[in-house]
Amino acid sequence: MTDTATSSVEKAIADRRAAGSGALVGYLPVGFPDLGTSIDAAVALVENGVDVLELGLPYSDPVMDGPVIQAATQQAISNGFRLRHGFEAVREVRARVDAPVLLMTYWNPVLQYGVDRFADDLAEAGGAGLITPDLIPDEADLWLAASDRAGLDRVFLAAPSSSDDRLRHAVEISRGFVYAVSTMGITGARSDVDKAARLLVDRLRGVGAESVCVGIGISTAEQVTEILGYADGAIVGSALVNALAQGGVSAAAELAARLAEGTRAASRRPDAGPSAL
């Protein structure tokens, strides 16, 4: 991974790992159910134990997302979501709580906004970087240059089906963490997170990954504990979005608190952390 020293995300994750557990990464889409509530909910996640925030920019064609996130982001777009709201949300969340904030966005909005302009505005708003679900390293030259220039993190995805060469490349150019896709599939809660996740994290370690978070399908504290047994962070999305949709900010906050319990359980495990590997 490049330039680890500059990454606030990597530092947040490393701090939790040093404390013996690992990080909880929480996802919510900007503008759902409306801009103000999405910001309040993101703040509440951090206040309840989320270490790194991943704010999603609603997009018309989210091929990596399951029904829960699709419905939420579609509603945000119908309610008038604009890209600039993403920067507003980052700025406001950063003013209210001290946790690094990544944006999760499909590539076309960035391309249309202008890759350099997007990087500058994100850095200016206090954002840490981008997670890019449909931008593979092979197509990422513009983003590599812009993120280097603006000092932003860039989180690429690694899949169980990725070749070792592709994993190595993703690890080399990612900054912040590498996003290990737990299972072959789209976002949405699953009752059991695949064995594939553990194997993938092992393979990523084998090609030099120091900061790996596992996402897709994680919804319970038990799953968080299990994943932090071998990974540096656990990413929860659909479950939090569902809680927010069903029970508002307080329900999302409660779920975050329960999930954070999962990180503490991980720290009590004797075999926790990468030292066990």
Partner 1 sequence: MTSDTRTSLQEQGPYFGAYGGRYVPESLIAALDELTEAWEAAKADPAFHAELDALHRDYTGRPSIITEVPRFAEHAGGARIILKREDLNHTGSHKINNVLGQALLTKRIGKKRVIAETGAGQHGVATATAAALFGLDCVVYMGEVDTERQALNVARMRLLGAEVVPVTAGSRTLKDAINEAMRDWVTNVDTTNYVFGTVAGPHPFPAMVRDLQRIIGDEAREQVLALTGALPTAVAACVGGGSNAMGIFTAFIDDPDVALYGFEAAGDGAETPRNAATITKGRPGVLHGARSYMLQDEDGQTLESHSISAGLDYPGVGPEHAWLADLGRAQYRPITDTEAMTALRLLARTEGIIPAIESAHALAGALELGRELGPDSVILVNLSGRGDKDMSTAGAWFDLIDADADQV
Q: CB 61 → partner 1: shortest distance, Å?
A: 5
What is the enclosing helix (H) or strand (E) of 213?
strand 212-215
Active site (annotated) includes residue 65 = yes
Taking contact as CB under 8 A, which single stretch among the options 92-100, 162-170, 222-230, 265-273 is the one that binds partner 1? 162-170
Residue with smaller CB distance to partner 1, 52 or 76: 76
Contact, 237 vs 27, CB < 8 A?
yes
Q: Which of 40, 65, 121, 226 is catalytic?
A: 65
* Cβ proximity to partner 1, 64 vs 150, nearer residue: 64
The per-residue DSSP string of 153-194 comes to: EEE-EE-TT--HHHHHHHHHH-BS-EEEE-SSS-SS--SS--
Q: Provide the residue count of the chain.
A: 277
Q: Which of 19, 95, 145, 184 binds partner 1 (CB under 8 A)?
A: 184
Does position 143 bind partner 1 by CB under 8 A?
no
Q: Which of 5, 18, 98, 163 binds partner 1 (CB under 8 A)?
A: 163
Residue 188 CA to residue 174 CA, distance in Å, equals 24
Q: How many chain residues bind partner 1 (CB under 8 A)?
A: 39
Provide CB contacts within 8 A for 112, sequence distance 6+: none
186 binds partner 1 (CB under 8 A): yes
Q: Is 110 in the site for partner 1 (CB under 8 A)?
A: yes
Asked whether position 196 contacts partner 1 by CB under 8 A, the answer is: no
Asked whether position 66 contacts partner 1 by CB under 8 A, the answer is yes
Least distance from C-beta 134 to partner 1, angstroms? 5
Among 8, 74, 174, 263, indicate the residue that binds partner 1 (CB under 8 A).
74
Long-range CB contacts for residues 83-87, cutoff 8 Å, separation at least 24: 83/57, 83/109, 83/113, 85/30, 85/31, 85/35, 86/30, 86/55, 86/57, 87/121, 87/122, 87/124, 87/125, 87/127
CB of 115 to partner 1, least distance (A): 12
- As measured in angstroms, the least distance from the Cβ of 64 to partner 1 is 5
Of 181, 171, 132, 126, nearest to 151 (Cα)? 126
Per CB under 8 A, 250 contacts partner 1: no
CB of 205 to partner 1, least distance (A): 18
Cβ pair 204, 178 in contact under 8 A: yes
- CB nearer partner 1, residue 163 or residue 275: 163
Instruction: Tell me if 88 contacts partner 1 by CB under 8 A.
Output: no
CA distances from 247 to 99, 235, 237 (A): 24, 21, 15
Number of helices and strands in the chain (H, E) = 11, 9
Q: What is the DSSP letter of 19?
A: T
226 included as an active-site residue: no
Active site residues: 54, 65
Judged by the rule CB under 8 A, the positions of this chain that interact with partner 1 are 59-64, 66, 70, 74, 77, 82-83, 107-113, 133-136, 138-139, 156-163, 166, 170, 181, 184-186
